[in-house]
Amino acid sequence: MSIISLKDVTFGYSDKEVLSGVSFDIDEPGFISIIGPNGVGKSTLIKLIDGIIKPTSGSIEICDRPLEEYTLKELSKVVGYVPVMASDFNVMSVLDTVLIGRYSHQRWRTTPQDIAVAVKALKAMEIDDLIDRDFNALSAGQRQKVSISRGLVQESKILMLDEPTANLDIRHQLYVSEFLRKLSDRTGMTCFTVSHDLNLAAKYATKVIVLQRPGKIYAIGDPRDVITERMIHDVYDVDCDIVDDHGTPHVILQGVLEESR
């Protein structure tokens, strides 16, 4: 069974094409990192898979079923979505904010099981002490972890996270990345993350998708095969050295290429 299949997917805003002819298949669960420079359609790609926006052309299948055949509630049970930054206008408590993610599981009211799942997610993100705090009173990093918690409580087969380590300090960048990788390994959940940190992608991803301008796939595969000096030269216009870090590539940046200045 194919978990996700894209065939010649194109998307654009008005007269600007953001993604162009994107095709790939994900047949096995894993922790998948989408990387590439600004403006190549990374966030657009995960919004397409989550059904937030519709492709201009091409097809998307989730679990061997065309995306357009899912109802909103059906899709939310299969695909969860965590935006890069939660809204600044949320006046609810942390617990109530996370419980929004239980929408697809709820019937008439919140159950003790819903609350237990929410508390478990908050503990996993090490913020259960904030459970009664107002969301608006939190720091940017705390809000980010609440947003991830809200995605986790959906208990979906696929979780799409747009820069989940944004606004987090170094410790929590590592913690969240390692947590998501272990979650994928343990449960069979497929986690997609948009990332600007090549070394986090190299260290934790089972597969890397590289997008380059103008919204095309440059490469897809194992980080050891994909994160190379040539890729970073071609995609980012940056010179670097790649060293081995216990079996994974580690990027040491040297500088912007002279011809791209």
User: Which tens digits make up the pLDDT trace of 121-146?
Assistant: 999 999 999 999 999 999 989 999 99
Confidence of residue 86 (pLDDT cuts 50, 70, 90): low
Report residue 166 as tokens: 């944004």
Render pLDDT for 38-51 as a digit per residue (tens, 0 to 9): 999 999 999 999 99
Of the candidates 102, 162, 93, the one whose C-alpha atom is nearest the C-alpha of residue 130 is 93
Q: Any alpha helices (H) in 66-154, and if so which ranges?
A: 72-78, 94-99, 112-124, 140-152
Confidence of residue 190 (pLDDT cuts 50, 70, 90): very high
Q: What is the CATH number of the domain that holds 240?
A: 3.40.50.300
pLDDT of 85 over the 80 cut: no
Exposure of 56 by Cβ count < 10 A (0-12 exposed, 13-18 middle, 19+ buried)? middle
Mean pLDDT, range 239-252, rounded to an integer: 95
Render pLDDT for 45-72 as a digit per residue (tens, 0 to 9): 999 999 999 999 999 999 999 999 999 8
pLDDT number for residue 129? 96
User: Who has greater pLDDT, 198 or 256?
Assistant: 198
Cα distance between residue 210 and residue 218, in whole Å: 5
Residue 12: which domain range?
A: 4-260
**Four-point Cα dihedral 145, 248, 32, 239, nearest 10:** 90
Mean pLDDT taken over the chain: 92
* Percent of all residues in the chain with a pLDDT value above 90, rounded to a whole number: 81
Query: Are the beta carbons of 215 and 55 closer than 8 angstroms?
Result: no
pLDDT of 74 over the 60 cut: yes
Q: Any alpha helices (H) in the chain, and if so which ranges?
A: 42-49, 72-78, 94-99, 112-124, 140-152, 170-187, 198-204, 223-226, 229-236
Overall number of domains in the chain: 1
Mean pLDDT, range 23-37, rounded to an integer: 97
Report residue 51 as tokens: 């059904």
Mean pLDDT, range 205-231, rounded to an integer: 96
pLDDT number for residue 260? 60
Confidence of residue 149 (pLDDT cuts 50, 70, 90): very high
Cα distance between residue 247 and residue 245, in whole Å: 5
Confidence of residue 195 (pLDDT cuts 50, 70, 90): very high
pLDDT of 244 over the 60 cut: yes
pLDDT of 107 over the 90 cut: no
Helix (H, G, I), strand (E, B) or coil at 71: coil
User: Who has greater pLDDT, 96 or 109?
Assistant: 96
Cα distance between residue 5 and residue 64, in whole Å: 8
